[in-house]
Amino acid sequence: MHMPNELLIILSFIIIYGGVVAFYRYFGKNGLLAFNVLATLLANIEVMILVRAFGVEMTLGNVLFASTFLITDILSENHSRKDANKAVIISTLCSVIFVAISQMWLLYTPSENDWASESFHTIFTSTPRIVCASLLVYLVSQLTDVWLYHKWWDWCRKHFGDEKSGLWIRNNGSTMISQLLNTVLYTLFAFYGTYELKTIGSIIISSYLIFFVTSLLDTPFVYLCRNIHDKYKIE
């Protein structure tokens, strides 16, 4: 039984963004650090799948990647720039370990009764290029996002005169710019020479469209998590 791709993407958004809020509510900022690692690793695998949805070709992983920007924005808003950067560094280091271990899996000599090695080779043979591209671009775009968030926060303080106002400006202003950087650099590094330029262009447009929409949709989640932080005194 197959479900429409569009419906699956919408369901993914609900599950992933709902998961971010739940992890924050019950596990605090450590929950966000854990979820950020999970989202980064899963996105690096899911991004290898090319689908057609909403009338365009796109790689999966966009919603998972977008959730990592939501997480750093929540950490910046409710905790500190240091905590947001910490989430980025931890996820990057975990991805490095993942690449090393996944490549070691391919070096084992399988048993004659093995049934999984061929599938693992198919999936993880192409992983190094994708994950290495992801590591570099993720690091650059996420650190840019955190930097921009606090630059926008300085602007909001100056124009609104308090710490709370202008959350939607710093959230969207930082995320939309850094996700554009992420989309263009990642797609070129990961898929140039693998897909035709027309397909790469389609991936960039469709991926950024998903990022743009999720950026708008994640603003209520940042407000919700700020309310959760204030109500439950989350550390």
Span 10-69, pLDDT tens digits: 999 999 999 999 999 999 999 999 999 999 999 988 888 889 988 887 878 888 989 999
For residue 78, pLDDT over 80 is answered with yes
- What's the average model confidence in pLDDT over 205-220? 89
Q: Evaluate whether 182 touches 134 at the Cβ level (below 8 Å).
A: no
Q: What percent of the chain has pLDDT over 70?
A: 97
For the chain, the domains span 5-232
Encoded tokens for 14: 């609900």
- pLDDT score at 194: 82
Distance of CA 77 to the CA centre of its chain: 18
- pLDDT score at 58: 80
Give the predicted TM-score (pTM) of the model. 0.93
- pLDDT score at 126: 66
- pLDDT score at 32: 98
- pLDDT score at 173: 96
Burial class (CB in 10 A: 0-12, 13-18, 19+), 129: middle
CA atoms 70, 43, 235, 27: torsion sign: positive
- pLDDT score at 17: 97
Q: What is the pLDDT of residues 150-191, one digit of tens each?
A: 999 999 999 999 999 999 999 999 999 999 999 999 889 878
Q: Which residue has the higher pLDDT, 46 or 88?
A: 88
Lowest mean pLDDT among 55-64, 79-88, 139-148: 55-64
Mean pLDDT of the chain: 92
Confidence grade of residue 121 (pLDDT, cut at 50, 70, 90) = confident
For residue 128, pLDDT over 70 is answered with no
Class of the CATH-defined domain 5-232: mainly alpha
For residue 127, pLDDT over 80 is answered with no
- What's the average model confidence in pLDDT over 89-116? 93
